[in-house]
């Protein structure tokens, strides 16, 4: 079980072309990318927020039990990772903003960083946030 929880944000994508790919196959890759499939596409992720597993668990305690935001974030404990897409932005940002005044400075910093990452996701909807342990 990992001790660190890392929030990764998509920083860029590229087509892996280290092999000599025939032109016909390249057309399929680029067409797939254009319609939303990611055949042959490599996602480059960078860490935007990190905390210990215990901090993450304690941080989620501020969210109301049974709330949609808490259930989404607790998915990390069930699946070992969660992905946050644009459709989750408002729900999560509102939930953490609603409890930020109750938080200790340590958790306020974590919430602020997470809300900032959600703001970046809002400005660039092709981006996503991946929460994983390490």
One-letter-per-residue 3-state SS of 115-129: HHHHHHHHHCCCCCE
**Is pLDDT above 90 for 42?**
no
pLDDT given at position 19: 59
Tell if the pTM clears 0.75, that is, is over it: yes
Count of CB atoms within 10 A of residue 20's CB?
5
pLDDT given at position 95: 98
Helix (H, G, I), strand (E, B) or coil at 88: helix
Rounded mean pLDDT, 79-99: 96
Rounded mean pLDDT, 35-42: 54
Q: Two tokens at 121? A: 């996701």
Q: Two tokens at 21? A: 């790919």
Rounded mean pLDDT, 1-26: 69
Instruction: Name which of 77-81, 82-86, 98-102, 127-131 the model is least confident about.
Output: 127-131
**Is pLDDT above 80 for 134?**
yes
Higher pLDDT, 130 or 16: 130
Beta pairing partners, 15: 41
Q: Two tokens at 110? A: 């974590």
Rounded mean pLDDT, 25-41: 59
Burial class (CB in 10 A: 0-12, 13-18, 19+), 59: buried
Residue 121 · residue 128 · CB < 8 Å: yes
């Amino acid at each position: 079980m990992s001790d660190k929880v890392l929030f990764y944000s998509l920083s860029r994508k590229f087509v892996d072309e280290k092999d000599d790919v025939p032109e016909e196959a390249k057309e399929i890759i680029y067409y797939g990318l254009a319609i939303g499939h990611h055949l042959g596409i490599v996602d480059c992720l960078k860490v935007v927020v990190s905390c210990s597993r215990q901090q993450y668990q304690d941080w989620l305690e501020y969210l109301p039990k049974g709330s949609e935001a808490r259930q989404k974030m607790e998915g990390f404990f069930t699946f070992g990772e969660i992905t946050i897409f644009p459709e989750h932005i408002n729900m999560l940002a509102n939930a953490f903003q609603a409890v930020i005044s109750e938080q200790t400075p340590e958790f306020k910093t974590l919430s602020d960083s997470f809300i900032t990452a959600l703001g970046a996701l809002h400005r660039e909807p092709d981006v996503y946030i991946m929460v994983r342990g390490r």
